[in-house]
Amino acid sequence: MRIIGRRGKSYNNSCVKNIFSYSSRSYSKEVSRSALRQGIDGPGSIGLGEARKLFSLLHVTKLGHFDNTGDIPQFAVPQIAFFGRTNAGKSTLISTLLANSLPKRQREGSKTPGSTRDIAFYSAGGSRASKFVLTDIPGYGYGSTPDQREMIVQFLSKSLNVLMAYILIDARVGLKSVDMQVAKLLDSNAIRWRLVGTKADRLKEVDRSTVLHELMNFSVTSHPHLQEQEVFLTSIKITKTKKVSGLDELEWSILRSCGISANEALRNPEFKRAKI
């Protein structure tokens, strides 16, 4: 896969609008414990299972960290970006999404706010070609630096193929004004976004529903003209056997945003279990 840089420099690598919540107006919605949708036909259990299986078969390569925004590469495949306040769980979520395909030494995640200092890119696809790129953006808010905040602005202005951004919200804390500012920043750069509540395992069931509806309310209020709305609630509980929930819904959304049909991709011989 060839990656074209902003200044025309090429890099060779061998493998290389807005949605959520609930409002008082009536609409057809699909509600589960981990997702709320408006104007979108849900995937159903079969669709979720196919998305989960495809993610488990992805061939993934970490393209490295980039701290110089002038060197941020451009990709010919769809790019998905993850934003959020420091310690919202971005790196942990990405590592869990790619856990079956990414070597353990390349997985990230930390309990220290602001531990992600640079932008990290992960190329994912079949055995012969990349299909999309997941991007881990440094956190904003507590523990972040002015340079990191400037990096976010520069990334948005220089990245041309970001098809979807997921803004991660610590479900225990809820939406903050800085999250709303980031949503507006994405809007100003014509980038669609979704809200993802994280750490839901630390909430009571009734509080999880409240968080889902809070996120949906903000989404609908921000873009009342959009027909499609969608919000997620995830949890990743680290025990002897890692327990996760909501990730299959998110995986389906990522594939949908990239125009990838899991059902069709699974028939492609490229998608055989990655050997890592």
Q: Please write the tens of the pLDDT for every residue from 154-171.
A: 899 888 899 999 999 999
Using an 8 Å Cβ cutoff, are 266 and 54 in contact?
A: yes
Q: Residue 143 and residue 179: Cα distance in Å, rounded?
A: 15
Kindly compute the dihedral angle of the four CA atoms of residues 260, 102, 162, 185, in this order, to the nearest 10 degrees. Answer: 130
Using an 8 Å Cβ cutoff, are 36 and 253 in contact?
A: no
User: At 186, phi and psi to the nearest 5?
Assistant: -65, -40
Task: Please name the amino acid found at residue 253.
Answer: S
Domain range holding 164? 2-264
Is 274 within the bounds of a domain?
no
Is 96 within the bounds of a domain?
yes
Q: Residue 218 and residue 230: Cα distance in Å, rounded?
A: 11
Using an 8 Å Cβ cutoff, are 197 and 20 in contact?
A: no
pLDDT for res 252: 96
> 3-class SS at 197?
strand
Using an 8 Å Cβ cutoff, are 197 and 215 in contact?
A: yes
Q: Residue 62 and residue 52: Cα distance in Å, rounded?
A: 20
Q: How many CB atoms lie within 10 A of CB 32?
A: 14
What's the pTM value of the predicted model, to 2 decimals? Answer: 0.83
Mind listing the pLDDT tens digit for each residue in 86-133? 989 998 899 899 987 776 655 454 455 555 678 999 999 988 889 999
Is 210 within the bounds of a domain?
yes
Is 182 within the bounds of a domain?
yes
Using an 8 Å Cβ cutoff, are 174 and 208 in contact?
A: no
Q: How far is CA 90 from the centre of its chain?
A: 8
Is 208 within the bounds of a domain?
yes
Is 122 within the bounds of a domain?
yes
Is 275 within the bounds of a domain?
no
pLDDT for res 64: 79
Number of domains in the chain: 1
Range 125-147 average pLDDT? 89
Is 142 within the bounds of a domain?
yes
Name the one residue in this structure whose structure tokens are 């997921």. Answer: 166
Q: Which CATH number does the domain housing residue 250 bear?
A: 3.40.50.300
Cα→Cα distances 51→57, 125, 161, 261, Å: 10, 13, 22, 8
Give the lowest-confidence range in 34-48, 51-65, 230-244. Answer: 230-244
User: At 63, phi and psi to the nearest 5?
Assistant: -85, -5
Q: How many CB atoms lie within 10 A of CB 221?
A: 11
